[in-house]
Amino acid sequence: MTFELFPAIDLRGGNVVRLRQGDYADETQYSDNPAVVARGFQDAGARWIHVVDLEAARDGGSPNLAAIEAICSAAPLCDVQTGGGVRSFADAESRFALGVARVIVGSAAVEHPEVVAEIAAARPGRVVVGLDVRGREVSTHGWTKGAGCDVGAMLQAFDGAGVGACVVTQINVDGLLTGADIGLYVELLAATAIPLVASGGVGSLDDLEALRTIKVNGRGLVGAIAGKAIYEGRFTTAQGVAACSRPE
């Protein structure tokens, strides 16, 4: 599989924001028009856009559906994957109806894994398991609760479940721009055959390169999510896409 850049749009109140290490009290707003941001990602050559409804992730519901629909409409050449508040089959279907390519199930994947199985049965390959971790412990509900389980063991429970990928976010480095937790992804590549997308800590093109070149038994990650690094001008979306597309 190729290694892809997943530029990120985190939504809160219909705006594009970023949280520092998952802290809802430490927010930076970057745009009040997520559709324009999404179109910029498409025009820069991104093939995927990663969208998280932060309010829904923490509290449930679907407060940013209109923004997600606007993103899909503004960037029709991109595949959009979205998470936050997807806790039932009906929640997933409401996102698919907007035109998203994949839904991400996070808290419900931990607490009610049968939801993942139900979506995967109806939409093979179009459900992504989203696991957010502090160290190696899985967190849920918008990073506010520790689940008391190890991320490697949790991932193994989804082997053969028909999921399209798993996004693993290291909360401890998220938003810090100090580099990804390389050791985490080395461990997880050895633990599961599920395609893995890295999230958290990317602050430079070198960080993308470090993730792109991880190999465990000849297998690597399928992508990396970058948000704050792009918004803060550490690199452009086009530069990130090019870095991820370099030949081996």
pLDDT for 150-207, tens place per residue? 999 999 999 999 999 999 999 999 989 999 999 999 999 999 999 999 999 999 999 9
The larger pLDDT score, comparing residue 11 to residue 144, is at: 11
pLDDT for 4-48, tens place per residue? 999 999 999 999 999 887 788 899 999 999 999 999 999 999 999
Q: Average pLDDT, whole number, for the chain?
A: 94
What confidence score (pLDDT) does residue 248 get? 64
What confidence score (pLDDT) does residue 146 get? 81
- Calculate mean pLDDT across residues 70-80: 98
Q: Which helix (H) or strand (E) holds 199?
A: strand 196-199
What confidence score (pLDDT) does residue 1 get? 66
Q: Which residues are catalytic?
A: 10, 132
Identity (one letter) of the amino acid at 109? A
CA distance 13 to 11: 7
What confidence score (pLDDT) does residue 141 get? 76
**Paired residues of 225 in beta bridges:** 6, 199
Domains in the chain and their CATH numbers?
A: 4-244 (3.20.20.70)
- For 7, 17, 45, the CA distances from 26, given in Å and listed in that order, are 21, 10, 30
What confidence score (pLDDT) does residue 153 get? 93
pLDDT for 213-243, tens place per residue? 999 999 999 999 999 999 999 999 999 999 9
- Calculate mean pLDDT across residues 78-105: 97
DSSP SS3 for 79: strand
CA distance 54 to 203: 21
